[in-house]
Amino acid sequence: MRKLLILAGISMFAVQVQAADINAGQRLSASCASCHGQKGISSNPMYPNLAGQKAPYLVKQMRDFKTGKRQDPVMSAMVKSLDEAAMNNIAEYYSQLGK
């Protein structure tokens, strides 16, 4: 039963983010890899792992860096040029890694 609920959750999630383009996200992630790792797993504890984190969570963090709600000079600079679509694509790419 629990498994079924989880599965239902996952498929609902998939429908919700259908519009995101994982391939575009992967291309954009090239500029993130130096800190967050090639596959979203960082080799330095200074940089959080992005692989397998929920897409809405990742989008929120990127938005917050952009608006200054979450402050980090490095990350603010990194997300500056990303629009909503780009952030969604990147988030979707990282969220499906490590599954």
What is the contact surface with ligand HEC in residues (CB under 6 A)? 31-32, 34-36, 46-48, 50, 53, 58, 61-62, 72, 74-75, 78, 90
From 34, 45, 32, select the one nearest 93 (Cα to Cα): 32
Which residue, 61 or 96, is less far from ligand HEC as judged by CB? 61
Q: Shortest distance, CB of residue 53 to ligand HEC, whole angstroms?
A: 6
Is 98 within 8 Å of 52 (Cβ atoms)?
yes
Which residue, 18 or 81, is less far from ligand HEC as judged by CB? 81
> C-alpha distances in angstroms, 51 versus 1, 33, 57?
27, 11, 12
